[in-house]
Chains A and B, each alone.
Chain A
């Protein structure tokens, strides 16, 4: 029996143990060994997530691969892990992106290599922990602990303005999560001393309590997603973070917020979610349309992709709050796809940045002449970023737009504008950077992507195409859980008579 092995624990702790090992034993004198160990660790970390995917029973609604051990007896908190259709894809996604991140930093990072890779490995384990925790306290510990390695990654290996970006990142996200902590403790007391997320989901709650809880959750998750207007930390963090940091930030960390909506906001405060759906939809549309325009005028490639991330995540929150199966599944598909595409875009920018040390669009032009293989792969990612059919980006966006049109034609129309805007900012940037005459001597001296870079990009390209051409396994795994979640959301938790 596959299910009897603690695969989830393995997926969490193997990277963390390797990370701690690198932290204690890694030396600056032998960066090659450190890199090799990190790569092996990330590969093992990815391998142990495979049984979770293959062994996942798509028909069941409850959590699978459950592990439950008493953790803090006096608080009634358990080490309770499990994945269901909502979280299943994020576990392998995190492990996969970690491999990419390890490859991405291979040459660019020359100092404190051991600490660098240790941070990524530990971060990877913690992120998988967030996605698989079914105990409120355990979730919070993982959720918060991810801040520390990311703070260090941005602050130590980041760009010139890294200190400002790192502190801004830390404080913004901490503000939200402290309010989240208060609401967790509130739920603990209201449920008579339990940290079980499923017990909280079943528990009746009055409307005012639900609204307060929803807002506290919202403070934590909206900052993380990030939604307009609390998104301002993201462009700073992305621009300053090293390439691999941006990849993990965009591909995984942003998903924590969206996942939080699925796990906490919607099922625990369903009535509040219905009450405030208009508000969330409005913010999502602002993210899609307004931030889309903002992305259009960026001159820095990383900033452009950062803003496009905010716009794409707007789609995710929009999909959640129209309360239809197609919207919800589309939103989750969009989360997975965005993990691949935004990771790939940041990786591409990193490949160029490693060579020229510039992220300015104006410093490039005609890159296709010197880096043809790179240009063709980046073409695919730019297309995926604007949601071209047969790429992964299409699946989620199409489903969410479909759901939105059914919900309200005008909302669907506004959401649909992203197809134009996304194409405009992605392709216009691509045109200015890649096509045309060779713009300057720096571009003329560029060398094409080396095998390591091609491998990383190729893996992502394969994922983008596979998901775009045959998304069925992806959505099949979600059906049961999404159905259950929607049922919970449509069920009022207000006690009769309130």
Chain B
């Protein structure tokens, strides 16, 4: 545990090196050769994903940097999908970014650094390292949101994101400091150990720390009532950046929640379990009900994210209720599967939006999708799949997300309140279905108004097609992804 163990941090090391390389190389690349930086970034992402895949094969929990850094199967799965999400976001970004003077080196290097922050958060086993990763991720994203300097809305969104993000970081840091004060250590395993061994005299401080930590995590996940920034940032940020905010950081927030609450604060699970349940129910209600009223697709997806995170939190909170390792692993595996399936669908939805955007035209109102079925049936189909997946209608991958979360929730099926929580959750997902199928309605049932032809680079079309196919193939044959998530969780918790 005390060694440096460079092998365990190989993906991060590769990513850091290539991020710096892209930053440097881009200085020498002319405007017309910008594709070089793009290709370099994609290659770097592929290499990082490959490293994560290899480490996943290794199947063991390893520590590095004297226990500050942990790599376990859960971390590798999340990192793998975070890499994929970032790569897809870059591919989808090109149409949009080229038309808006955003196709610069900063876009690539900041995206890579965001991912580095995400990956650090996923693997952090130390309060300070969590904070470090969080700041790296957040600061890169603030800058990305503000990348279009000439656009006042983006500036406003960046400002709002920065202020509220700083507030959230403050919450988290405050909670961490209290936790440190109560336990006397920054190491998460050690915290769990000391609490379990009843070496913590000041229990109120511990609970207060938990409150602040949960609030900070709620901010990062975008769970209500800490969701205020979500719709505004989704709306104001350039669409590719909104996609980056929506996908990989959610995986990081999930991982942080897991590390802090499950690995660190399991002995006080009785306290945070109720907090998470409340956050989940409020998010489901606020997210789904507010999304109905949106006419802007990005805002709608923002509010829908709030609802989706509520659903995911339902699984998180039920993990401790079961008692046995198997049911706990199933619950966190379910939450992880939910985050991944949510990201896949969100990627596809933003991808179609980015496909429709062209110079001087932002496709971001729901009505901009009007008649897409008559113009480009395939992309309308991809969008429809994304919407059905978010709504949780089979045969799309989102359905299994809903299914495994409900399963985790009802693991203790003898308890009556749990059944009613499940009923409430599905009723809110019915509300969700209303606004998701409204998007399908606009695409399929209405006549096109905008007949400007649009086209995209071949790699974008391939990526979007692969994304759509993944939604349905994983919806018919979900067993591999499900097994990946649950076995990673079992090994992480068992080790």
Q: Chain A: residues with CB nearer than 8 A to chain B?
A: 23, 71-75, 112, 115, 137, 140-141, 144-145, 147-148, 151-152, 155-156, 162-163, 166-167, 170-171, 174-175, 178-179, 181-182, 185-186, 188-190, 212
Shortest beta-carbon distance, A208 to chain B, in Å? 9
Determine which residue in A174, A188, A212 has the highest number of CB atoms from chain B within 10 A of its CB, and name it: A174
A72, B423: Cα distance in complex, Å: 25
A190 neighbours in B (Cβ, 8 Å): 413
What are 28 A-B pairs at a CB distance below 8 A?
A72-B482, A73-B479, A74-B479, A74-B482, A75-B403, A75-B482, A112-B373, A137-B403, A141-B394, A144-B394, A144-B399, A148-B393, A151-B437, A151-B440, A156-B444, A162-B445, A163-B446, A167-B441, A171-B430, A171-B433, A171-B434, A171-B437, A174-B393, A175-B427, A175-B430, A181-B406, A185-B407, A189-B410
Query: CB within 8 Å of A: which of B141-155?
Result: none
Asked whether, in the complex, the Cβ of B395 is within 8 Å of the Cβ of A170, the reply is no
Asked whether, in the complex, the Cβ of A185 is within 8 Å of the Cβ of B422, the reply is yes
A347, B393: Cα distance in complex, Å: 31
B40 neighbours in A (Cβ, 8 Å): none
- Let me know if B166 is at the binding interface, CB within 8 A: no
Partner among B426, B441, B483 whose Cβ is within 8 Å of the Cβ of A181: B426
Shortest beta-carbon distance, A25 to chain B, in Å? 12
Known contacts A74-B487, A175-B427, A181-B406; 12 further A-B pairs (Cβ under 8 A): A75-B407, A137-B403, A140-B394, A155-B445, A163-B441, A167-B437, A171-B430, A182-B406, A182-B422, A185-B409, A189-B410, A212-B419
Shortest beta-carbon distance, A451 to chain B, in Å? 32
Question: Main secondary structure on chain B at its contact with chain A?
Answer: helix
Shortest beta-carbon distance, A170 to chain B, in Å? 6
A188 neighbours in B (Cβ, 8 Å): 407, 410
A155 neighbours in B (Cβ, 8 Å): 441, 444-445
A141, B394: Cα distance in complex, Å: 5
A181 neighbours in B (Cβ, 8 Å): 402-403, 406, 426
Partner among B402, B438, B441, B479 whose Cβ is within 8 Å of the Cβ of A71: B479
- Let me know if B411 is at the binding interface, CB within 8 A: yes
Query: CB within 8 Å of A: which of B221-239?
Result: none
How many B residues, CB 8 Å from partner? 41
Asked whether, in the complex, the Cβ of B445 is within 8 Å of the Cβ of A156, the reply is yes
Also in contact, A186 and B410, with CB within 8 A (given A74-B483, A75-B482, A151-B440): yes
Shortest beta-carbon distance, B330 to chain A, in Å? 8
Determine which residue in B399, B402, B411, B445 has the highest number of CB atoms from chain A within 10 A of its CB, and name it: B445
Of chain B, the residue at the smallest CB distance from A75 is B482
Asked whether, in the complex, the Cβ of B413 is within 8 Å of the Cβ of A186, the reply is yes
- Let me know if B478 is at the binding interface, CB within 8 A: yes
Question: Main secondary structure on chain A at its contact with chain B?
Answer: helix
- Let me know if B388 is at the binding interface, CB within 8 A: yes
Contact with A along B383-423 (1 / 0, CB 8 A): 00000100001110001001110110111110000010011
A175 neighbours in B (Cβ, 8 Å): 427, 430
- Let me know if B170 is at the binding interface, CB within 8 A: no
B395 neighbours in A (Cβ, 8 Å): 141, 145
Also in contact, A147 and B430, with CB within 8 A (given A73-B483, A156-B373, A185-B403): no
A194, B494: Cα distance in complex, Å: 24
A467, B433: Cα distance in complex, Å: 41
B445 neighbours in A (Cβ, 8 Å): 155-156, 162-163, 166
- Let me know if B323 is at the binding interface, CB within 8 A: no
- Let me know if B377 is at the binding interface, CB within 8 A: yes
A72, B480: Cα distance in complex, Å: 8
- Let me know if B120 is at the binding interface, CB within 8 A: no
Also in contact, A178 and B399, with CB within 8 A (given A71-B479, A73-B479, A166-B441): no
Asked whether, in the complex, the Cβ of B413 is within 8 Å of the Cβ of A147, the reply is no
